[in-house]
Structure formats: C-alpha cells, structure tokens
Amino acid sequence: MTNGSSCSPSRPWWKDAVCYQVWPMSFKDSDADGHGDIQGIISKLDYLKDLGADVVWVSPTYKSPMKDFGYDISDWSDINPAFGTMEDMLQLIEEVHKRDMRILLDLVITHTSDQHPWFLESRTSRDNPKADWYMWENGRPGHHIYNTRTGVDDKVEQPTNWRACFGGSAWYYGEERDQHFLHLFLKEEPDLNWENPVTRKAIYEAAIGFWLDKGIDGFRIDTVNRLSKDITWQDVPTKLVGPLQSATHVYINGPRSHEFLKEMRVYMDNHPRVQESGQELMLVGELPKTPMDDVMRYVHPDSRELSMVFDFDVVDLAGHDSPDEVKAHETKNLCDGDPSYTLLLFKETIIKVQNLIAAGGWGTVFMENHDQCRSIARYATPEPQYYQKAAKLLCLMQTTLSGTEFIYQGQEIGMLDMPLHWDYDDFRDPGAKLYIDEEFQSGGPEARENARIGNLKFGRDNGRTPVQWSSGKNAGFSDADEGKCWIGVNDNCEAGVNVEDQQVDPDSIWHFWKRQVAFRKEYREVFMHGSFQCLDFDNMKTFTYVKTAADGLTALVCLNFSDEVQPITAPDEVLKSRSLEFLTGNLGQSLGREQPLAAWEGRVYLLKAPLHKAIEERLRRFPTDVHLLDEAFSKSLSI
Ligand code: GLC
C-alpha cells in the first residue's frame, strides 16, 4: 500500500487499507437512465483517490433479474447490461490499478438467482444432473404451515418451520419435483447445496477463478457464515407468534463452515494468477451473530480462511436487523434514550473488535453499508444543530480505531436517512415491502404504519438513496428527467448535503473525513495498529480511549456522545503532561485541555515521548471497568 506502509507476512497490505464501498445502483449514472453504472464509477475514481481511498469495493454488477438489487445473480461471469458491459468492468479494474488503488468484487455464493441456469435445470426433476445442486427437501407429512406471504404455499406440508430473513417461509414449493427448496433470503434466491463437492468446485470456477483471472485483488464475501447448514432439518422451538420461527442459530456458522472456507481458500491460493503475483488477496466476510471466539476462527492468520470480517454486533445493536425477532419500529437508537440501546452497549461492540485484533486476529471498522440505515441518527444525533458535529465525531472514532477502515458511499458528506414522509411506493427494498405487507395482513392499518416507521428508521433504502454530488438536478447523480431516478433523491442535497458544496467549504464534513483519513495514514501505527484501552467503560455519555503504538506513541481520544458539556475522563498525569499535543477535533480549533468537552465534541491528543512510559503505567492503574482481553479467552482459542 502507498503512504509509508510496509508489507510483511504479519502486515499484509490490506491491514493498512482505507476502503470505500460503492453500491452501483446509486453511485453515479453516466447515461441518464436513472440508475448508476460502471462508467459512472470510473468517472469518480479520481474523487475516491483524492479522498484517500486505497481500495474500492464494488457491490454486484453481475447479470441478475435484480429482485434483490444484484445479490440475486443469474451469471457470475457476465455483467448486467443495466450497469454496462464486460469491457466496462475490465476498464474499471484497469483504471483502479492505474491509480495505485485496488478493487474488491462481491462474492455471492450462498445462493443464486432462481433464473440461474443451474437452478432452472435443478428444478425440472428429481433426477437431472443438477438435481442436488440446491437444497431440496420433501414436505414433512402433516406439517402444514400456513404462509401469509406466498399464498401458493398455503397449507402445503413443509420441511421445517424456518422463517426466511425477509419474512415468510424459508421453503418454497417446486411443483415439477413436488419438493421444496430452501431460500434463506427471497424465494427468488435459492440456496446452493454446499454439501455437494461437485457444486462447490463449479462455484469456485465460475464465481472466483473467472474474476481472479481478470486481475481483481479480493472479494467481499456475502453471508459467509451461511454456507453450511444443519442438514438434519429440525424444527426450531416456537418463540415468535405464529408458525414460522427464526432459525438463525441452526443455519448460521453451520457444522462445515470452516471446512468449506478452508477448501475455498486453498482454491484461491492455488490460483495461477495469485501464485504468479505472490499477492495476498483481501477477503472480507459478512459475519452476523457470531461470538468472539468463533469470529477468531474465521480471521486468525493460522486458520487461512478470511482476512477479516464485518462483525455485525455494531449494526445489530439493540436487535436491529433481526426483523424475525424484533419489530424494526421497536428498535431504539442512542438518541431515543431507551435502555435497550446505551452508549455502553455500543462500546462493547467496538471493544469486541479491538480485543479480537489484540488477540492476533484482524477486524474492520465500519458503521454503514448498503443494508443499513445511515450512521448519524443511528449512533449519534440527527438534530439539526448537532448533526454535523455528530458526523465528524463518528468520523473521529472511525478513523482512530484499529482495523481496516471502510467508508460507505455518501458517508463522507454526512448523508442522512430517507425523508420521513416516504411511504410504501417510495420504498424499493423488497424486504421493506414484505415487512409492511406482513404487518398489515396480521395487524391492520396501525401495524402497517408502525412497519412504515420502522422502515424509515432502519430500512435498507436509507443507505440506498443516490449519492448527492451537487445541489442540482437529481443531486448531480443522474441527468435523467427530474423524478425519473430508480429511487427518490433526498432533497437535503439542496441544504449543503452534497459533495460540490462541501468541497469548497473547509469546515465541511467532507474535508473533515479527508483530513482524518490523512491523519490515520500519517499515524498508522497508533490509529490502524495501536493497542486499545477504554478509560470510561461505564460512562453513558462519553467514550474515551487510548491507542498505543508499539514504539510507545500514544493517542488519547475523547468523544462526547451527548447534548451536554462533559468533563474529560483521563488521569491528571495525562491531561497535565507537557508532551500532550492536540492533534485534531470536530470543533475546528484546539480548546484548552482543561476545558470540558462541549456537546458532541470530540478531540484527539497525541502523547509524544519522553513521558509515555510513566503515562502508560498510570493508565494501567486508572480505575476503569474496561473489558480488557481476558486471558481465559485467549487461552481457550482453538484454531
Ligand atoms: C447480504 C447482502 C444483502 C442481500 C443478502 C442476500 O446480506 O449484503 O444486500 O440482500 O446478502 O444476498
């Protein structure tokens, strides 16, 4: 990687990378048809480079019926014409590399589209050559499960009582075979049968080998802990009202998960281009609902599985993203002041990943992606007088934590959630529509309205409104006629939430992100790799931590997550130390260190030698209830 990092077996290039996720539908439209495309991405590569991105992760642009906006793939080795051509994609790879950046593509291999030729064949009979490439099961005699969603399945005998992630049964009936196929997501996304070694090999060649040949630098691996399921197909206990039950505990981190990933990794490592270049691929997996010791098994270098994961605890906070367990409108944010979401719980999710790194694993720093709402209202405050400070506060946190950094498109200008007046017809996410339909069917208009509110708060469309490049037509995203974009444009683009206006304002959120990314690189040993110690775990208003580099350089990070003035929580020796220097903060100027933190203020100080040893000692003795890495945990790690 550029900017002074050096690669070594223990320091592969991707540890120091600042990554930027592009969700192509909403990034930049080059041909005025109202949705983004590959040429649009190419036109913004200089912008990404300027921001400080080293890696561009491009969400799926493969051939797809787009029922799940590209995560339903009907051909991994072809490009969806709506996004461009294979030549466009090859050009994108080349243009990224020309700028000394790297590119990750999405690897979606838990399921395909129901229009994938493999599935079309598999569904025709019980004895065709691909009959067992997907997970087909017989209905269990007498196991009638009324399915409010699909109608056709109504009163059909089903294999299990599992509920799909977006609602309804996880099984769908195929008449030709008189059997059901498993779909953990939409019914248009049948799950592949990873138990079959012939299928696995075919997946590796079509989805992985093809793109490694094209020169990409790694993959973001979709739903990586759902490849292996418990295939004894048991009903799960009833916890929810109604017949369908959340079964994540039986299909997440299934019995053969690690075996499959190790096998896939061997395929990647042995790929001729990887062998020839000697380059270490970057593999980042999506990993919800996994305790720390099991996360470690995925990311420990000796496991040879993944480089890192997106640990979902931070985005699942207070039950969000579990529509099957908690109704979205009942889920709280920090600003709701509800005990189900406190700063303390937030800190725990952060500390989990920092501890994972301290124990020899590696992690990611992220708060947004295309499946999440925007971070400002979720983790801080959307209040007009504070939201810019809040955006910068989160940026300060994100750029000072150890791990590989991920910025999601629009985060760098503080994009906010969709407008509150949006309703069913404005939403595009199939999961949102299924949720609202189901609530309406079971609870009538009031339940429907609650579901709408829940969707405004947490729905995936929040992260999918077009990137706001300017205050002009369609926020500069597209030259299509006004109102003709595939999803509405947030009109706050006219109130300064856009790239063009922010680039000319040195105090903008955009400039702040750019500066912070530069600091992160300049002090990479502290911010990307430094050890982490929380100083105020029990404090419900502030988050204060120190990061320490191997050579002793230390940073003190003080973040006020409240509307009130708060004292700085750090030992006097540190605050009074002559070697304490203000580095950066979200108020734009250095307030005296004796000054308390203003509402939503964040500051970062550096402690330069020579006092650091004494300070280290003092910090160790500072009274705090930090969840430091517990030794029992590290001993119990069985890789
Ligand atoms: C992942 C993707 C999400 C998609 C789902 C099913 O979670 O990020 O967008 O809907 O997988 O493929």
**14 neighbors 307 (Cβ within 8 angstroms):** yes
> Quick one: which atom of ligand 1 is closest to the CA of 460?
9
Amino acid at 301: P
- Separation of CA 409 and ligand 1 centre (Å): 17
Residue 617 annotated to the active site: no
CA nearest to 327, candidates 447, 425, 444: 447
Beta bridge partners of 181: 136, 172
pLDDT tens for each residue of 216-237? 999 999 999 999 999 999 999 8
Q: Is the pLDDT of residue 403 over 60?
A: yes
- Separation of CA 635 and ligand 1 centre (Å): 34
**Is 68's C-beta closer than 6 angstroms to any atom of ligand 1?**
yes
The H or E element that residue 623 is part of is none
Confidence label for 197 from pLDDT (cuts 50, 70 and 90)? very high
CA-to-CA separations, 504 to 60, 239, 496, 511, in angstroms, rounded: 33, 54, 11, 9
From the candidates 29, 286, 417, 439, give the one annotated as an active-site residue.
Answer: 286
Q: How large is the C-alpha radius of gyration of the chain?
A: 24
> Quick one: which atom of ligand 1 is closest to the CA of 68?
10
- Separation of CA 341 and ligand 1 centre (Å): 25
Q: Is the pLDDT of residue 107 over 90?
A: yes
Side-chain half-sphere CA neighbours of 266 within 13 A: 7
Global pTM? 0.95
Residue of 23, 25, 64, 68 with the most ligand 1 atoms within 8 Å of its CB, for mutation: 68
Confidence label for 324 from pLDDT (cuts 50, 70 and 90)? low
pLDDT tens for each residue of 62-105? 999 999 999 999 999 999 999 999 999 999 999 999 999 999 99
pLDDT tens for each residue of 557-575? 999 999 999 999 988 888 8
pLDDT tens for each residue of 247-282? 988 999 999 999 999 999 999 999 999 999 998 999
**Is 71's C-beta closer than 6 angstroms to any atom of ligand 1?**
yes
Q: Is the pLDDT of residue 618 over 90?
A: no
Across the range 422-433, mean pLDDT stands at 96
Nearest CA to ligand 1 atom 12: 71
From the candidates 222, 417, 429, 536, give the one annotated as an active-site residue.
Answer: 222
The pLDDT of residue 146? 58
The pLDDT of residue 1? 47
Across the range 487-494, mean pLDDT stands at 97
Higher pLDDT, 146 or 60: 60
Angle at 116 between CA 112 and CA 121, to 5 degrees: 115
Across the range 585-613, mean pLDDT stands at 84
Angle between helices 343-358 and 292-299 (to 10 degrees): 40
Amino acid at 351: I
Nearest CA to ligand 1 atom 9: 371
**Is 223's C-beta closer than 6 angstroms to any atom of ligand 1?**
yes
Q: Is the pLDDT of residue 125 over 80?
A: yes
pLDDT tens for each residue of 149-188? 444 445 578 899 998 998 888 999 999 999 999 999 999 9
The pLDDT of residue 113? 98
Q: Is the backbone of residue 215 left (phi > 0), alpha (psi -120 to 50) or beta?
A: left
**416 neighbors 457 (Cβ within 8 angstroms):** no
Q: How far apart are CA 8 and CA 29, in angstroms?
A: 39
Kindly report the backbone phi and psi dihedral angles of residue 112, in degrees, each rounded to the nearest multiple of 5, phi listed first: -125, -175
Sequence-separated (6 or more) residues with CB below 8 Å from residue 613: 552
Across the range 538-562, mean pLDDT stands at 95
Dihedral through CA 470, CA 471, CA 476, CA 481, nearest 10?
180
Q: Could you tell me whether strands 282-287 and 218-221 are parallel, antiparallel, or unpaired per DSSP bridges? A: parallel
The rounded percent of the chain whose pLDDT value lies above 90 is 78
Across the range 133-148, mean pLDDT stands at 81
pLDDT tens for each residue of 28-40? 999 999 999 999 9
Residue 222 annotated to the active site: yes
**Is 191's C-beta closer than 6 angstroms to any atom of ligand 1?**
no
* Sign of the four-CA dihedral 40, 42, 43, 48: positive
Q: How far apart are CA 189 and CA 74, in angstroms?
A: 10
The rounded percent of the chain whose pLDDT value lies above 70 is 92
pLDDT tens for each residue of 354-401? 999 999 999 999 999 999 999 999 999 999 999 999 999 999 999 999
Summary mean pLDDT of the chain: 91
CA-to-CA separations, 585 to 41, 388, 588, 605, 626, in angstroms, rounded: 32, 13, 6, 9, 24
The pLDDT of residue 410? 98
* Sign of the four-CA dihedral 497, 500, 504, 506: positive
**Is 185's C-beta closer than 6 angstroms to any atom of ligand 1?**
yes
